[in-house]
Structure 1
Amino acid sequence: MRIHFLLPGLHRVHRGAEVAFEAVATEIAKLGLDEVKLVGSGDPIPDRPYDFQRIGLIPRERFERAPKFPPFRSESIDEEATWVLNALRHYRSRDADITLTCSYPFVNWMLTRWPPGGKRPAHVFVTQNGDWPAYAENSEYKLFRCDGLVCTNPIYFERNEARWPSVLIPNGMNPERFSPGAPVRARFGLPEDRPVVLMVSALIDSKRVLDGMRAVARIPDAELVVAGDGPLRDQFDALGKELMPGRFRRMTLPLAEMPNLYRSADVMLHPTFHESFGNVYAEALAIGVPVVAHDYAVTRWIFGDGYPGLVDAADSDAITAAVSKAIKEGKPDALARAAAGAERFSWRNIARQYRDFLVEVHDRHRAARR
C-alpha cells in the first residue's frame, strides 16, 4: 500500500499527535511492506525510513488574538486552514492508496471531498485530538467523513463503533528511549535537595496547568517544572511568582531530552479531566515515574484499576495529597510497573495494529469501488 500521513505540524513540532504519527509511520515503514509518506510543515529528517513532503503554513501563535467564530474556533484551526490552502496546490492524494489524519475540519475535508467528483483513496481518521468530529451532527461537524476510525481510548470506541468501521488502538512510546534510569537534574538546573513535580503539557485551559500549580504550591519545598508552551504562559509565570516564587520553572526541550527529564522527577502530575489518550501517561509509566492524574475510564484503562495516583482532579486537596504521597512512597510501585507498561505501549506493537486495520480499510474501499 501507499500510505500517507498528513498533519500540519509534522516534523515542525513535537506535540502528542505529531509524535504518534511519526512513530507509527516509522515502524510501518520498517516492516518494508508499504510505501510510507508523511506530509507536514517541517523539514525532512535524515535517516527516517519514510518519504516526507514539506508544505508551509502560518503558525498558530500568530492567531492567538484572532477573533473566534465557526469553523475558526481556535488558533490551531486557523493554522490548519493556511496549511490546507498550500496543500491544495502541492499535494496529490491520487498518489496514495490510503490517507490518515487527526486534523479537522480542513484536512479531513481536503482528503474526503477534494477534488469534487474525483476518485480518492481510502481515508482513516485518528482521534488524537478528540472524537467529536466523528459523532457530532451540528455546525461543521456534520460534514465529517472517513472510511475507518482509529479510536485512541475505549470511550471513543464505544461511542463510534456503530457509526464508522472502528478499531481501538492506544498511543505509545519508544521503550528503547523511555526506560528507567538515574536522574540527571544538573543537566536541567534542577535542585538536588527538594522534590521535583513534573507536568508535561501544553499551556492551554483544557490541560489545567494553573490548577496543578495551585495544588503543588501547598507542598513545602516542592519544585514545579512544566515542559511545554502555549497561550497561558504569561498567566502561568504570574501565578508562579505569586504562589511559589523561586520554586517553579517553564521549559521547552528537544524530544530526545524528555526521557532524562522524566527520570529527574519524583512524580508527574497531569490534572486534565480528559485526554484522547495522553502519550505522557505511557512515557511516565515506562520510565517508572509515579503519576497523579484524573480518575476516569481512560486512565483506569491505561494504568489499571486501583492505581494509587488516580484521584478526582476537581478536588485540589486530593491532588495535593496524592502528589505528596507519591513523592514519599510512589517510586518503588511505579518502577515495578515499568516493564509491563513498556511492552503494552511499544510503538512497534501499536504500528502493527495500525497496519492490520489499514489493510482492512483499503481492501474494503477497493472492493466498494469495483
Structure 2
Amino acid sequence: MDLRILQVMAGAEQGGAELFFERLCIGLHRAGAHQHILTRPASGRIDRLQEAGLRPVLLPFGGRLDLKTMVRMRQEITRFKPAVALAWMNRGARFTPTGSHVLCARLGGFYDIKYYRHCDWLVCLTEDIREHVVASGFPRERTVHLPNFVPLDRGEPAARKTLYTPDNVPLIFALGRLHENKAFDTLLRALAQVPDAYLWLAGDGPLRADLEALARELGIKPRVRFLGWRDDTAALYAAADLVVFPSRHEPHGNVVLEAWAQARPLICTATHGPASLITHGEDGLLVPVDDPRALAQTIRQTLESPALQEALARGGWESYQARFTEEKVVGAYRAFFEQVVAQRAAERTGAAHPPAPAA
C-alpha cells in the first residue's frame, strides 16, 4: 500500500511528545512510509528531521485567529492528498481539518478531549489514557493504544572526572524537566539519607534554583551535579550505577524505556506510567510517591546488592526488546494506519469492513 501520512506537530521545541514525534517520523521514513510533515519552527527538530532525509513545512500554529496556518494547512492537504493524518498536541488537532483522509490524533497525557472530538481515531500512549478518553465520551471502538519506542543508542560511559565525580562512589542518574511533577526534591531528600552516593541530574526547568537551594540546605550540594539539558544521555546512563525517576505525575515515562534500552537498574515511583510498565522486582523497583525515606531505603538496598542490580538491568533489557524497539512500534503504527485507511475505503464502497485495528 502506498501509504501517504500527514504528520502535524504544534508542540514546543523540547518535550517528551516532541521527541517521540521526531523518532516516529524518522522511523516511519526508514520503514519506507511516504510522509509530509507540518511543524512549528524549532531549530533542533528541523535539523534532525532534515538530516534523516525529511523536508518539513514550517507553520506558526498561533491562536484561534491564525488564518495563515488554517489556509496553508488546507493547501498542503490538497497538494499532498494524505490517506491518513496524525495530529500531535491540542493545537495540532484543532488546526487539522477533517476530509477524505482518516484524521487521527496522538494523546500522550490526560488531555481535555474537546480538541479531539472531530477526530476519527485517537491514538493513546497508555491504557490509562485510553480509559480517560472513553470516560470523557469518545467511542472506545475508535481508540487504540500504541506505545512509544526509544532508540538503541549505546555509548561509552561519560568520564566521571569531567563532572568532578570520584570513580569509587555509587553514582545515581536522573533526568527530566525540573518541574514539580518530576519530584526531584523527593530524590534530593532521599539522597541525603544515602551517604557517599553522588547524583547526576540532567534537565532544566523552572525549579532549578529551588532545587539547588534545597541541595545546599540538605548539605548534599557537593554530591549533586546539575547538568542542564544534555544531548549525550546515553553516555550518562552508561556511567551510572543506578537510575532513579521519582515523579509525582508521569502518564507514561519514556525515561523508563531509555533506562531499559541502556540496561541500567531502575527505581521509579508508582505513578501511572511507570507502574503500568514495570513489573516490580523483575525489570525495576517501584516505591511510593513522595516518600523520601522509602526511596532512600530502596536505593541503599539496590546499591548494596550487585546481584539485584544485574537482575534488574537484565529484566529491563528483556522488556525493551519484547515491546519497545523501533521495529516493533513503527510496525504497529504502520499496521494501524493501513487498517484504518482500508476501513475507510471499505465504508465508501460498501464492501465488507476489514478487521478493526487491534487494541
Instruction: Identify whether the pair has TM-score above 0.5, normalized to the shorter chain.
Output: yes
- Using structure 1 for the length normalisation, give the TM-score: 0.79
Compare 45-54 and 349-358 and name the one that shifted more: 45-54
User: Which residue of structure 2 aligns with residue 358 of structure 1?
Assistant: 337
Partner SS for 2:51: coil
**Residue 337 in structure 1 maps to residue 307 in structure 2:** no
> What SS does the corresponding residue of 1:170 show, helix, strand or coil?
coil
Q: Structure 2, unaligned stretches of length 5 or more?
A: 350-359
The 5 Å alignment of 1:97-246 reads 97-104=83-90, 106-112=91-97, 119=99, 121-128=101-108, 130-134=109-113, 141=114, 144-160=117-133, 162-163=139-140, 165-175=142-152, 177-178=153-154, 182=157, 184-243=159-218, 244-246=220-222
C-alpha distance in structure 2 between counterparts of 1:120 and 1:295, whole Å: 43
Contact 2:253–2:273 (CA under 8 A) maintained in structure 1: no
What is residue 53 of structure 1 aligned with on the other side? 57
Q: CA separation of 1:238/1:254 partners in 2, compared to 1, >3 Å: closer, same or farther?
A: closer
Match of 2:296 in 1: 320
Normalising by structure 2, report the TM-score. Answer: 0.81
Q: Does 2:274 align with 1:299?
A: yes
Count how many residue pairs are aligned between Structure 1 and Structure 2: 330
Q: Contact 1:55–1:83 at 8 Å: present in 2 too?
A: no
Which residue of the partner structure matches residue 3 of structure 1? 5
Structure 1 residue runs without a partner (length 5+): 58-79, 114-118, 135-140
- Pair 84,101 (structure 1): closer, same or farther in 2 beyond 3 Å: farther
Aligned in 2, Cα 1:335/1:305: closer, same or farther, shift over 3 Å? closer
User: 5 Å matches for 1:274-313?
Assistant: 274-295=249-270, 298-307=273-282, 309-313=285-289
Distance (Å, rounded) in 2 between the aligned partners of 1:195 and 1:101: 43
1:147 touches 1:164 (CA, 8 Å); kept in 2?
no
Q: How far off is 1:9 after superposition?
A: 4.4
Q: 1:288 to 1:143 in 2, by over 3 A?
A: closer
Change (3 A) 1:131 1:279: same
Q: Once the two structures are aligned, what percentage of the paired residues are identical?
A: 23
Does the CA contact (< 8 Å) of 1:218 and 1:320 recur in 2? yes
On the 8 A contact 2:27/2:326 being kept in 1, the answer is yes
Task: Tell me the alpha carbon deviations over residues 248-275 of structure 1, each in whole angstroms, 9 at most, x when there is no partner.
Answer: 22223443x1100111122222111332
Contact between 1:93 and 1:120, CA under 8 Å: does it hold in 2?
no
Higher CA-based Rg: 2
Which stretch has the larger CA shift, 229-238 or 301-310?
301-310
**Counterparts of 2:116 and 2:17, CA distance in 1:** 22
Is 1:285–1:334's contact at 8 Å kept on the other side of the alignment? no
SS at 1:5 equivalent = strand
Q: Aligned to 1:51, what secondary structure does the other structure show?
A: coil
Whether 1:21 aligns to 2:21 is: yes
- Describe the SS at the equivalent of 1:4: strand
Cα pair distance change 1:178/1:151, threshold 3 Å:
farther
RMSD: 2.9
Residue 40 (structure 1) shift: 3.1
